[in-house]
Structure 1
Amino acid sequence: MAMSNGGIENHNGKDDTNHLVQRGIGNSASQLTHLDPELADRNHHVENSNSNTPDIRPSRETVHHIGKGNAANPNFLLAPACFHTWWEVGFHLIAAFDSSYVLGYPGLVMAYLGWIAGPICVGAFYVGSFYNNYLLATLHETGGKRHIRSRDLAGHILGPLMYKATWILQFLILSISVVGSIILCGESLQGIWVAYSHNSSAITLPIWVVISGGTYGLFAFFVPTLHSLRLHTAASIFLSLIFICIAVGTSFNDGFRAAAPRDYSLLGTKADVSFRSIGSLATIAFAFNSNILPEMQAVVRQPAVRNMHKALVMQFTLGTFPIILVMMTAYWAYGNTVNPYLLNSTSGPRPWVALANVMAFLQMIVSIHVYALPMYEFVDTFFGRNYCDKRDWSAHSTLIRFLTRGTFIAIATFFGALLPFFGDFVALTGAISVFPLNFGLVHLMYLKVNGKNFTLYQVAWHWVMIGLAVILTVATATASVRQIISDATTYRVFSNT
């Protein structure tokens, strides 16, 4: 995922804590600092000059500074220009969803479901995802307060225990996403190597995964915060447009030039087909959800709920078109032989395929950083809270960043090289993230807030959706883990796939 960020600026120093003002952030969890939601309800209120909601609670202290303003003006953080219009947020959503992951959906969804179940499931989850995100956006100002983090909203409505559970689950999701993203970067580099090498097996995928992890490690060290990432995220839409156009164009070309009819049957035993089909549901859910909607809604102008609804309409029309186009076109062109990384299936032209791989690699390097920054922010704040006068490039901050980020990236790269199953990690991420948070938790919070005014049928409807989310979570997570185990038993670690 990738998006531009306008957001908060931390006034470093414990004496300035009362002046910390939250008026918007541009990414999930870059503002994750404390585990106690009750501490966020301190009586420090400021008036938002661009809001119909006068009270906006301050964020807790953070060593990350995200956003710009005129420091001579004590209210510079409240400038209307720092808030985004609904269509700007819509483009942020599009940039977040149309990442390099779209190259995996033909082989991870359509090849596992086929022409009948595939479009039906895609359509059902498309509608369900829009509905759930619409409800979640409606809860943004619950209790007269703009909830800028997913866990803040969950904690405010359901209590501290759910706050902590959401926090832990979100960090687990982000960690798995980083592993899968590093694998995807390795796939991109391997695609470039295969296109121009006469001995493609000389360098195996795990080696490319290690190279990708090292490249991202350098990027993570030299880009301390989301504020430093602004120009990179702005370029991500352009990069995505290039590799999506090339992927669709080459798929059409290969499809029309195919000498034999494509095979669209479902491969494997009945057990394999069943588990893969169930696991593919998590991949579809992953394609249409992000788990960071409250964080993105925090930057939208008032009326925040209405404007976020407009942005969601934009995302689920203009933004999802490339996802569905790539998914259907590639499956039509290659049938059940389509590779989980689409660019490995295309036959050329070779320079265009190599260019698409380069664009996918660069775009995903940025996306990895977006996934990982919430954890970096937490660790940087934890180790830097007694050094609030230090800057990003002080000796202390540099050492902490080198040790903590280097350790995390090394561990993620190790697991990615050990078991480079990109598709399995995508499905597992969707299973343990989307269904619990974007499906079940949303309806539980909506019932808690509005249930007293609901009819019996409305209450029953939301409980049915909660129950369905629980079933899908268990089923898809089981299928995803089973697929990882199955692939691992037939795979020699650190060898090519």
Structure 2
Amino acid sequence: MDVEGRATQKIEEGEEKGSQNDDSGLATAHTIDRDSWKQVGSMLVTSFNCGWILSFSNLIMWPLGWTWGIICLLVVGLYTAYANWLLAAFHFVDNRRFIRYRDLMGYVYGNSMYHITWVFQFLTLLLGNMGFILLGGKALKEINSEFSDSPLRLQYYIVITGVAYFFYSFSIPTISAMKNWLGVSAMLTFTYIIFLLFVLVKDGKSNSNRDFDISGSEVSKVFNSFGAISAIIVSNTSGLLPEIQSTLRKPAVKNMKKALCLQYTVGVLFYYGVIVMGYWAYGSAVSAYLPENLSGPKWINVLINAIVFLQSIVSQHMFVVPILEALDTKFLEIDKAMHSGENLKRLFLLRASFFTGNTFVAAAFPFMGDFVNFLGSFSLVPLTFMFPSMLFIKVKGRTASIEKKAWHWFNIIFSFVLTIATTISAVRLIVDNIQKYHFFADA
């Protein structure tokens, strides 16, 4: 164990023995210090294997092709795992514990970075939740399409999805409260992935006419490649690691790293497998929503879409809890139970307002891939790569070697350039789709 690891361990041991700590940032309406690393690891595995992965064959492999697609999946995946591993070590700074990303950045860099982190993180989570609502609506519409040549408009299913997410979020308000649902979520996750892989193998073997050509002009290929990198980042990270880490039992740093190991071994095996197999089965014709390509039988198509919808109800919750925690901490009476008295009314209104707004926006702009690319570029890139290295420079810079400081400055500069490039790519795609679609389009 290195010096930094020993220092972190001593801090956490002091916390367990009841040493004094600055609790000013620990006031929260949600539960902290309760969950095991296995519970959090299982949540990460199932949440990152949600229905989002059904878009990634199109968003990642189609623009990059086989060679660059595989290289980028491996390199960006490892880079993301490293960045999260680094960030987990800063759960304690100057003997103080930080349960929110924005509090950590604000303490180290001042009030401006607090607000920048707040904007980046909440933008990521808001867009991500809209994407989940679109995903659920798409799954329900695909089920309807199996039984009707004229299915209802997508917006009806988006509303149904928003209502389902609202009721789950109201009943299961915190990350820790998801504990009893993770087993069900894991069963649903592995069931739909197994059936999906079965159909992909069958379709791939029978599809002898598929091609893997990357179409478009040279300029569009470059922009699409940056969009693909954004999607790889989205597939591997969330931008809310400190909030997830806050739920862990002590030692929180060690347990968070164990949970990350579970995600980047077991979890990545499944979602990378679907990404690669989807592209192998359909080539450049792979859809932005993979079940649209499936040949059947009908009952498997219905089953996969039904499970994707049900699984998304649970998995979406992890990605939106930091926003809900901020609302709950501000508006609820945190010294009382969440589902008691006045808190119950406030909780209902908070959840209803949040999901009504998100559902409306998702229904108005039903461009699923655009949400993925944009949240992976403008906000998630700095949250994942830039900010952890900034923390290292500020907290460990005086004692770190020149090589380490140079490495982290490289991360900061590289992620800044990557943010600009991927954001331009995402905005270009959004502008293009706005020209193709109208508000409330039946996409």
1:194 is matched with which residue? 145
The answer to whether the 8 Å contact 2:210/2:283 transfers is yes
User: Which range moves more in the overlay, 288-297 or 228-237?
Assistant: 228-237
**Which of 125, 134, 146 is the aligned partner of 2:85?**
134
Tell me, yes or no, if structure 1 residue 392 matches structure 2 residue 339: yes
Q: Deviations over 1:106-159 (max 9, x none)?
A: 111001111121111111101211221121122222222332222232223223
For residue 51 of structure 1, what is the aligned residue in structure 2?
A: 16
Quick one: distance in 2 between partners of 1:448 and 1:49?
23
**CA distance 1:212–1:349, change in 2 (3 Å):** same
TM-score (ref. length: structure 2):
0.89
| Residues 372-406 of structure 1: per-residue CA shift (max 9 Å, x gap) | 33323322333334x95575253x43443343332
Q: How does 1:19-34 map to 2 (within 5 A)?
A: none
Shift in CA distance, 111/53, structure 1 to aligned 2, threshold 3 Å = farther
Map 1:27-176 onto structure 2 (within 5 A).
51=16, 54-58=19-23, 60-62=26-28, 64-66=29-31, 82=34, 84=36, 86-176=37-127
* Higher RCO (CA-CA < 8 Å; seq separation 6+): 2
Corresponding residue of 1:480: 426
In the TM superposition, 1:353-392 aligns within 5 A as 353-385=301-333, 392=339
Residue number in structure 2 paired with 1:450: 396
Q: How many residues align?
A: 432
**5+ unaligned residues in a row in structure 1: which ranges?**
1-45, 68-76
Q: Which of 409, 412, 418 lines up with 1:466 in the alignment?
A: 412
Cα distance change of structure 1 residues 159 and 488 upon mapping to structure 2, 3 Å threshold = same
Measured in 1, the distance between the counterparts of 2:348 and 2:16 equals 40
Greater share of helix = 2
Partner SS, residue 325 of structure 1: helix
Rounded Cα–Cα distance in structure 2 between residues aligned with 1:316 and 1:245: 19
463-472 or 407-416, larger mean C-alpha shift: 407-416
Q: Which residue of 2 aligns with 1:217?
A: 166
The question of 1:206 aligning with 2:171 is answered no
Q: 1:221 to 1:455 in 2, by over 3 A?
A: closer
1:335 aligns with 2:283: yes
Indicate the larger mover: 338-347 or 407-416: 407-416
Provide the C-alpha distance between the structure 2 equivalents of 1:65 and 1:126, rounded to a whole number of angstroms.
30
Provide the C-alpha distance between the structure 2 equivalents of 1:226 and 1:450, rounded to a whole number of angstroms.
Answer: 31
Whether 1:318 aligns to 2:266 is yes
8 Å contact kept, 1:48–1:55: no
**Identity rate of aligned residues, in percent?**
34
Measured after TM superposition, the shift of residue 421 of structure 1 is 0.9
CA displacement at 1:314 relative to structure 2: 2.9
Contact 2:378/2:419, CA 8 A, preserved across alignment: yes
Q: 1:232–1:366: 8 Å Cα contact kept in structure 2?
A: yes
Q: Does 1:418 align with 2:383?
A: no
User: For the residues of structure 1 that align with 2:349 and 2:358, how far apart are their CA atoms?
Assistant: 14
Which deviates more, 234-243 or 323-332?
234-243
Contact kept in structure 2, 1:174 and 1:372, CA below 8 Å: yes
Identify the match of residue 198 of structure 2 among 249, 265, 268: 249
The one-letter code sitting in structure 1 at the alignment partner of 2:81 is F
What does residue 297 of structure 2 align with?
349
> Which one-letter code corresponds to 1:435 in the other structure?
V
Query: Is the Cα contact below 8 Å between 1:178 and 1:371 reproduced in 2?
Result: yes
Question: In 2, Cα distance between the equivalents of 1:116 and 1:435?
Answer: 23
1:224-254: CA deviations, max 9, x gaps? 4445443234422221111111111110010
Q: Provide the residue aligned with 1:12 in structure 2.
A: none
- Name the amino acid aligned to 1:427: N
Deviations 1:424-461 (A, max 9, x none): 10111111332111100111101111111233333222
User: Structure 2 vs 1, CA of residues 391 and 187 (structure 1 numbering), >3 Å: closer, same or farther?
Assistant: closer
What is the correspondence of 1:266-281 to structure 2 with a 5 Å cutoff?
A: 266-281=214-229
Report deviation, 1:407: 2.6
Distance 1:56 1:92 in 2: 29
Write the deviation string for residues 297-356 of structure 1: whole angstroms up to 9, x where unpaired: 334455443443333333222221011111111100000111111111111121112111
Q: Residue 394 of structure 2 aligns to which amino acid in structure 1?
A: K
Distance 1:478 1:297 in 2: 32
Compared CA separation, residues 336 and 464, structure 1 to 2 (3 A):
same
Q: Which moved more, 1:274-283 or 1:304-313?
A: 304-313
Where 2:322 maps in the other structure, the secondary structure is helix
* Pairwise CA distance, 1:56: 4.7
Cα RMSD (Å): 2.6
Is residue 99–residue 367 contact of structure 1 (8 Å, CA) maintained in 2? yes
Question: Could you list the per-position Cα deviations for residues 14-42 of structure 1 after superposition, in whole angstroms to 9, with x for gaps in the alignment?
Answer: xxxxxxxxxxxxxxxxxxxxxxxxxxxxx
Q: Which amino acid aligns with 1:219?
A: Y
Residue equivalent to 2:374: 428
CA pair 52-437 structure 1, distance change in 2 beyond 3 A: farther
Equivalent of residue 236 in structure 1, options 171, 176, 185: 185
Which whole-Å deviations, capped at 9, do the CAs of 1:274-308 have from their partners, x for residues lacking one?
A: 22211111110111112222233334455443443
After superposing on structure 2, the runs of 4+ consecutive aligned residues of structure 1 that deviate more than 6 Å are 46-50
Structure 2: gaps of 5 or more residues: 1-10
Distance 1:96 1:214, change over 3 A: closer
Distance in 2, Cα, partners of 1:83 & 1:230: 8
Change (3 A) 1:131 1:384: closer
- Kindly provide the amino acid, as one letter, of the partner of residue 191 in structure 1: E
Amino acid at match of 1:480: A
Aligned counterpart for 1:409 among listed residues 352, 355, 359? 355
Q: What is the deviation of 1:49? A: 9.2
For residues 413 and 234 of structure 1, the distance between their equivalents in structure 2, rounded to whole angstroms, comes to: 27
Q: Partner of 2:6 in structure 1?
A: none
Q: What residue identity is the alignment partner of 1:447?
A: I
Take 2:281 and 2:309, find their aligned partners in 1: how far apart are those partners? Answer: 24
For residues 345 and 43 of structure 2, the distance between their equivalents in structure 1, rounded to whole angstroms, comes to: 32
Q: Deviations over 1:26-74 (max 9, x none)?
A: xxxxxxxxxxxxxxxxxxxx99798378445435444x3537xxxxxxx
**Alpha carbons 1:51, 1:301 under 8 Å: kept:** no
C-alpha contact 1:52 1:303 (8 A) present in aligned 2:
no
In structure 1, what is the equivalent of residue 236 of structure 2?
A: 288
Alignment-derived partner of residue 34 in structure 1: none
* Residues 292/123 of structure 1: CA separation in 2 closer, same or farther (3 Å cut): same
